[in-house]
């Protein structure tokens, strides 16, 4: 079955638009709808010397022929020079997101795949924007979301995301962890078709606190919560020392890892699969995946960008849409 996905290429001066153009050169079994400026896409394709045939959104989803791309046009106020940011185009990025959300709300697209954005430009344009995740949560009225990165062989979710390290311990509460675990389990069940997921839960402190000698959060917060949740039937292993959790002995028996903070879990995943991983926002009423890299302004317009992460983000969005079942 051919699916239709909305794709926002992100910062117009960044690498996002050309990665999408590169990706469709081989065609696609599913219909990708670029929610972006048609003129921008044509200009970037010409700069790269790549063929690009844009078509309108019509009827039922149809596969893409090589070099073909469906587009929902969004006006970009000023001409874009690859690698050169322009705050006058900051609102354009948000307008693309809003248009893509409408396509999903109207049932025309089953998922959203986002390219990298430059937060500073959006804020300089007078729009408060701390990131895709927060923006999409606010637009959809979602109170709690979970960030998870996934490669071909590893899924890592985060209990906290972009916090200074000194604030992490205070953020690790039983209430927060229960919400995160509940969302993670439900999404693995309903969007990844894993009936009874097994989750490895990392401790917060070195050696998972070493019986309280290196910290008490495991004894006072994490272990009591896991014990209570296990009694409801959830398969939760931990708290485990993060320095040995990411080994075959443990990973072979798990469907996902829950890390306590950003740099506890993501360096391992990115070392294992950088450029082939997708960023997934769990807990939203929509399916949203993204690339695992930034705008790469230094590569924009060069044709030297690697679309591996975009390919993974699209593949994961398709997998989630095909696996989606009612909770």
Residue numbers belonging to the annotated binding site for a divalent metal cation:
162, 207, 262
Residues 6+ apart with CB under 8 A from 73: 36, 37, 38
Could you tell me which residues are annotated as the binding site? Answer: 132-133, 162, 207, 262, 270, 279, 288
Determine the longest span between alpha carbons in the chain, in angstroms: 63
Which ranges of the chain does DSSP label H, i.e. alpha helix?
16-23, 38-48, 90-105, 119-124, 132-140, 165-171, 174-191, 217, 223-230, 242-245, 248-251, 262-273, 308-323
The kind and range of the H/E element at 71 are strand 68-73
Please state, in angstroms and rounded to a whole number, the distance separating the CA atoms of residues 127 and 90: 8
Could you tell me which residues are annotated as the binding site for substrate? Answer: 132-133, 270, 279, 288
Q: Are 104 and 286 in contact (CB under 8 A)?
A: yes
Q: Are 170 and 164 in contact (CB under 8 A)?
A: no
Please state, in angstroms and rounded to a whole number, the distance separating the CA atoms of residues 128 and 85: 17
Cα angle, residue 200 at apex, residues 309 and 211 outer, rounded to 5° = 135
């Amino acid at each position: 079955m051919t699916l239709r996905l909305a794709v926002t290429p992100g910062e117009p001066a960044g690498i996002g638009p050309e990665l999408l153009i590169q990706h469709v050169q081989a065609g696609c079994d599913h219909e990708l709808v670029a929610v972006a400026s048609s003129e921008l896409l044509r200009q970037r394709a010409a700069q790269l010397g790549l063929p690009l045939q844009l078509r309108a959104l019509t009827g039922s989803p149809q596969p893409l022929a090589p070099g073909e791309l469906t587009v929902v046009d969004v006006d970009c106020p000023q001409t874009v020079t690859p690698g050169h940011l322009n705050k006058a185009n900051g609102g354009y990025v948000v307008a693309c997101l809003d248009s893509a959300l409408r396509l999903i709300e109207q049932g025309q697209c089953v998922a959203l795949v986002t390219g990298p954005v430059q937060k500073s430009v959006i804020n300089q344009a007078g729009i408060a924007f701390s990131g895709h995740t927060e923006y999409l949560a606010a637009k959809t009225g979602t109170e709690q979301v979970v960030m998870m990165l996934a490669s071909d062989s590893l899924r890592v979710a985060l209990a906290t995301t972009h916090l200074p390290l000194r604030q992490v311990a205070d953020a690790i509460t039983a209430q927060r962890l229960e919400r995160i675990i509940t969302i993670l389990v439900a999404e693995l069940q309903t969007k990844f078709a894993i009936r009874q997921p097994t989750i490895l839960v990392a401790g917060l402190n070195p050696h998972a606190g070493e019986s309280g000698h290196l910290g008490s959060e495991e004894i006072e917060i994490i272990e009591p919560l896991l014990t209570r949740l296990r009694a409801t039937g959830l398969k939760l292993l931990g708290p485990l020392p993060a320095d040995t959790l990411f080994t075959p002995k443990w990973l072979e028996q798990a469907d996902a890892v829950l890390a306590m903070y950003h740099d506890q879990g993501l360096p391992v995943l990115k070392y294992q699969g950088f450029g082939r991983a997708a960023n997934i926002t769990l807990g939203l009423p929509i399916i949203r995946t993204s690339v695992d890299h930034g705008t790469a302004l230094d590569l924009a317009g060069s044709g030297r960008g690697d679309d591996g992460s975009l390919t993974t983000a699209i593949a994961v969005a398709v997998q989630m849409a095909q696996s989606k079942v009612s909770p």
